[in-house]
């Protein structure tokens, strides 16, 4: 008999993201740009923040668009209704068979049907309420990453926001700005222009 195959559900599947390690980074260069030193514990915390960001960003990018989410919700509702019908006992024999093999775990077949009916109703209502459109826009996790890295940076001795427009150079500067810019480069994160990166820092780091 052919082995059964489990069909992957695109809506729920997640792509594995390799973990960054200490050796993946040139910490001496990061420290020079950040104008401070990171001990081993803070280096690990930087890596943890980056790995969490990469994992969350992967999940965010794979988030379903409205059409796909609606289709999935309708499938769940349909499957719940189908199972309700399968559990419906038309004859006394059906009742006897179900009662004999049903595991006594504190819920009866009838109670289970009620729960399935609630699930079908909730998912159908959710499907009707979903607006159509493309997948998740933007990436809010970048703000959390910058906030975490700023906290680590300040714990290592950094002060203030240290990201500003340098009129003499005609560009953005600051020890924290350069630190984040280099982190993005070394971690191979999506490139950002200087103005966009500064705006993220301003939004993620409170002014002091």
State residue 19's pLDDT score.
85
pLDDT tens-digit series, residues 8-27:
444 444 455 678 888 889 99
pLDDT tens-digit series, residues 122-177:
888 877 776 665 555 567 889 999 999 999 999 999 999 999 999 888 899 999 99
Phi, psi for 164 (deg, rounded to 5): -155, 165
**Contact between residue 127 and residue 74 where contact means Cβ atoms under 8 Å apart:** yes
User: Token digits for 8?
Assistant: 């992957």
1 strand-pairing partners: none
State residue 64's pLDDT score.
56
pTM for the whole thing? Answer: 0.61
Q: How far apart are CA 144 and CA 203, in angstroms?
A: 10
pLDDT tens-digit series, residues 26-41:
999 999 999 999 999 9
pLDDT tens-digit series, residues 58-105:
777 766 566 777 888 889 999 999 888 888 877 777 777 777 777 766
Q: How far apart are CA 194 and CA 202, in angstroms?
A: 12
Residue 7 in this model has a pLDDT that exceeds 60: no
């Amino acid at each position: 008999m052919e082995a059964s195959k489990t069909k992957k559900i695109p809506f729920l599947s997640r792509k594995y993201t390799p973990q960054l390690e200490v050796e993946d980074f040139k910490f001496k260069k990061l420290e020079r740009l950040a104008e401070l030193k990171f001990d081993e514990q803070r280096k690990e915390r930087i890596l943890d923040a980056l790995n969490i960001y990469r994992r969350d960003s992967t999940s965010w990018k794979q988030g379903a668009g409205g059409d796909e989410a609606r289709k999935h919700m309708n499938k769940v509702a349909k499957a719940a209704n189908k199972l309700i019908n399968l559990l419906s006992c038309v004859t006394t024999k059906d009742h006897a068979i179900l009662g004999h093999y049903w595991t006594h775990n504190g819920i009866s077949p009838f109670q289970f049907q009620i729960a399935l009916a609630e699930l079908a109703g909730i998912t159908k209502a959710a499907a009707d309420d979903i607006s159509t459109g493309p997948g998740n826009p933007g990436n809010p996790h970048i703000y959390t990453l910058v906030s975490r890295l700023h906290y680590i940076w300040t714990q290592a001795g950094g002060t203030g926001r240290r990201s500003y427009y340098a009129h003499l150079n005609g560009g953005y500067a600051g020890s924290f700005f350069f630190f984040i810019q280099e982190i993005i480069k070394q971690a191979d994160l999506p490139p950002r222009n200087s103005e966009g990166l500064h705006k993220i820092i301003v939004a993620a780091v409170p002014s002091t």
